[in-house]
Structure 1
Amino acid sequence: MLMKLHVDYTRCTGHGLCEVEAEDVFEVGEDGLVQLLVDDPGEQNPRGLEAAVRACPTSALSIED
């Protein structure tokens, strides 16, 4: 299943919970915002992405099918 990840950078506050759930996809940068480590994260770790979306306290992450 192809999943597209959307990051709302206006909501991201750099808690880093996404990085905890999917460290192969996310990293909080020096600017305090999440950075994507891969171009197409939907193929990396679908369960990790779903967990990261659920864990985000500001709802900055969403998945589109």
Structure 2
Amino acid sequence: MNYKIIRIDGKEDDVTSQTFSNFADAYDLLDKIYGDICCSDADYGDIIYYDIIEDKKREKTNT
């Protein structure tokens, strides 16, 4: 199963252009980007929100 990171606002960027072979790898990338942000340091209006989803399109083309 393949996974993809999407932006909640529907836009594309360097993060959303990648495909991952497992959920943990996608999660690790987001943790690397946002893991150091503390709640008191965050300006939530400026944060891009992401979600990790199964990349079903990619699976269909590979089978």
TM range (shorter): 0.3 to 0.5
TM-score under structure 2 length normalisation: 0.34
